[in-house]
Structure 1
Amino acid sequence: MITVEYCRMMARYNAWQNRGLMEAMKSLKTAELTKDRKAFFGSIFGTANHLLWADRLWMSRFDGRLAPKGGIADSTTLHDNLQLYLGDRMRTDAQITRWAAGLKQIGLYGPLTWYSGAAGRQMSEPKAVCITHFFNHQTHHRGQIHAMLTAAGHNPGDTDLVFMPDDA
């Protein structure tokens, strides 16, 4: 279904895209960053926090690190300070990149089993499906953030995978 090369490319894409969003977010005043824009997770910052929370949650399932506290309802308030968020986002992106770099093809096979707070039960799905979901979830919510930033008059940059720089 997927390959380690796909995972490495998507980890690079994730970090590249997040750098662009972070640069745009740094140009916003707190009121603009936290303004309710009627998106699923409310604001630009709420959506960015949710995405970071979910990335950390999935990485805890993939590499055994500690999961973030709280559930989906708490995810939008993971950080209340942009600088703390930015540092955590960069560390998490580096973790994702290191995980993908060390991934072996065999690591994409077999089931991944975890307790889902969202579903309220134990879940088990093929690892490849979970990893594909992980990268798809990132792209989905970054698209929401990109749209909110664009509507707020900011240019977060290109999002086309085919235009990702080689050094990203």
Structure 2
Amino acid sequence: MIDAGFAVEMARYNRWQNSQLDGFLEALPAEELSRDRGAFFGSILRTLSHLCWGDHIWLSRFDGGSPPPVGAGESVTYVTDLGGWRALRQTLDARILVWAEGLSDAALAGDLTWHSGAAGREVTKPLGLLTVHFFNHQTHHRGQVHAMLTATGSKAPVSDLFLMPA
């Protein structure tokens, strides 16, 4: 399905996107970050919080490291302000890159088994598929944040992969 190089490239892309996003978020007043905009998770900050939570839970499954200290029901309040988001995001992005750089094609061809709180049972799926899902989930929610940013009158990050610095 995918190879280890894809995972590293997507980890780099994720970090690049989040670092760009930070500047646009910093320019917004705090009330704009927390304003309910009718999106799935309501606000920019709640969407970013959920995305950090999602990355953290998947990473704990992928690398065996610590999971988030809160459950899925609290994913939208996992981070409560821009400074908290920034610190956690940088930590997660570094952890994602280390995990991706340690992946092998053989590992991606294998399965991952974990207990899914959402499904309420043990689940086994191909690691390659889960890796694609992981990066797709990031892109999906950053797209929502992009739309909410532009709704504030802000510009938003360039997201074209081919423009990512080498």
Task: Give the TM-score normalised by the residue count of structure 2.
Answer: 0.96
Corresponding residue of 1:19? 19
Q: Contact 2:45/2:81 (CA < 8 Å) preserved in 1?
A: no
Looking at structure 1, the residues matched to 14 and 161 of structure 2 have their Cα atoms a distance apart, in angstroms, of 10
Corresponding residue of 2:33? 33
Looking at structure 2, the residues matched to 106 and 61 of structure 1 have their Cα atoms a distance apart, in angstroms, of 17
Query: Could you tell me which amino acid in structure 1 is paired with residue 64 of structure 2?
Result: G
Looking at structure 2, the residues matched to 91 and 70 of structure 1 have their Cα atoms a distance apart, in angstroms, of 17
Within a 5 Å distance, the mapping from 1:147-162 to structure 2 comes to 147-162=147-162
Looking at structure 1, the residues matched to 102 and 84 of structure 2 have their Cα atoms a distance apart, in angstroms, of 27
Corresponding residue of 1:128? 128
Q: Percent identity?
A: 49
Structure 2 residue 88 is matched with structure 1 residue 88? yes
Query: Could you tell me which amino acid in structure 2 is paired with residue 88 of structure 1?
Result: L
Looking at structure 1, the residues matched to 82 and 158 of structure 2 have their Cα atoms a distance apart, in angstroms, of 23
Q: Please, which moves more after superposition, 105-114 or 11-20? A: 105-114
Within a 5 Å distance, the mapping from 1:5-154 to structure 2 comes to 5-154=5-154
Looking at structure 1, the residues matched to 123 and 69 of structure 2 have their Cα atoms a distance apart, in angstroms, of 19
Shift of 1:72: 2.4
Q: Contact 2:114/2:123 (CA < 8 Å) preserved in 1?
A: yes
Structure 1 runs (4+) greater than 3 angstroms displaced: none
Q: Secondary structure at the match of 1:115?
A: strand
Q: Contact 1:37/1:148 (CA < 8 Å) preserved in 2?
A: yes
Task: Tell me how large the CA RMSD over aligned residues is.
Answer: 1.0
Q: Secondary structure at the match of 2:58?
A: helix
Q: Contact 1:8/1:97 (CA < 8 Å) preserved in 2?
A: yes
Shift of 1:108: 0.6
Q: Contact 2:56/2:68 (CA < 8 Å) preserved in 1?
A: yes
Looking at structure 2, the residues matched to 69 and 119 of structure 1 have their Cα atoms a distance apart, in angstroms, of 19
Structure 1 residue runs of 5 or longer lacking an equivalent are none
Structure 2 residue runs of 5 or longer lacking an equivalent are none
Q: Contact 1:23/1:156 (CA < 8 Å) preserved in 2?
A: no
Looking at structure 1, the residues matched to 77 and 51 of structure 2 have their Cα atoms a distance apart, in angstroms, of 11
